[in-house]
Structure 1
Amino acid sequence: MARKDEVGRRGEDCAAEYLVRCGYTLIERNWRCSQGEIDLIVARGGDVVFVEVKTRSGTGYGHPFEAITVAKLARLRRLAGAWCEQSVLSARHIRIDAIAVIARPGQEPLVEHLEGIF
């Protein structure tokens, strides 16, 4: 596995653990369809949340949230709709969140959560 893939997997693990600690239930991880992939899908209180996780080993190339472009947000919205169309779960509300993980070697990862980014 390439180093960036390992960093990404570690970030998704951290994000999933963080969300579970915050009372969310993990529904799916790395859900894929022909349009792309959603990193995490979680639920809490009747709401379904689609989560984009961005991980960096430092901020030398910018904060992880800076990698979420307008085009990426539009694709996440389409993906959320595709998931809703095929899912048997019904949600009171849906939203798209972002989680940034800064996982510096030898340090505890820093997790930041932005709710309702789109």
Structure 2
Amino acid sequence: MSPRATSRAAVGEAAENLARQRLEAAGLRLRHANFRARRGEIDLVMEARDGQIIFVEVRYRSRRDYGGGVASVDARKRQRLIHAARAYLHCHGLDQRPARFDVVAVDGYDRIQWIEAAFDADSAG
């Protein structure tokens, strides 16, 4: 593994930890971190007090060029997240639970932008 890859992984992990702290401070509970399915991965799976499952994509960008982290969650990425979320719900017997997709963007100054219900499974394409 190259030093660059290690550094990149460490930055990504730090961004996920920062996002997790923010979400937990808002009352969400971590269910799973880095859930991997056949065609996708979910950074954080959180649960709200009302039982809603929240799938969180964390995006880190050192700069806001090209729209920043939120803009980088394109249609292809959304489809992969939806696929992984369906797998998670099925594997854990949660198919009937309400769910949503949030995006948390972290920039190079550790500023956080949390977009609740950033997209849904019906309008992601």
* TM-score, length of structure 1 as denominator length: 0.87
Structure 2 residue aligned with 1:82 = 87
Query: For the Cα contact (< 8 Å) 1:98–1:115, is it kept in 2?
Result: yes
Query: For the Cα contact (< 8 Å) 1:31–1:39, is it kept in 2?
Result: yes
Give the distance between the partners of 1:102 and 1:34, measured in 2 at CA: 29
Within a 5 Å distance, the mapping from 1:44-59 to structure 2 comes to 44=48, 45-59=50-64
Gaps of 5+ in 2: 120-125
Give the distance between the partners of 2:8 and 2:96, measured in 1 at CA: 34
Within a 5 Å distance, the mapping from 1:1-118 to structure 2 comes to 2-44=6-48, 45-60=50-65, 62-89=67-94, 92-104=97-109, 109-118=110-119
Report the secondary structure of 1:79's partner residue.
helix
Report the secondary structure of 1:7's partner residue.
helix
The Cα of 1:5 is off from its aligned counterpart by 1.5
The Cα of 1:90 is off from its aligned counterpart by 6.3
**Alignment length (residue pairs):** 114
The Cα of 1:103 is off from its aligned counterpart by 2.9
- Give me the CA root mean square deviation: 1.7
The Cα of 1:116 is off from its aligned counterpart by 1.1
Relative distance call for 1:71 and 1:101 in structure 2 (3 A) is same
The Cα of 1:78 is off from its aligned counterpart by 1.1
Report the secondary structure of 1:46's partner residue.
coil
* TM-score, length of structure 2 as denominator length: 0.83
Give the distance between the partners of 1:63 and 1:88, measured in 2 at CA: 35
The Cα of 1:62 is off from its aligned counterpart by 4.1
| TM superposition outliers: structure 1 runs of 4+ over 3 Å | 88-92
What is the identity percentage for the equivalent residue pairs of Structure 1 and Structure 2?
32
Gaps of 5+ in 1: none
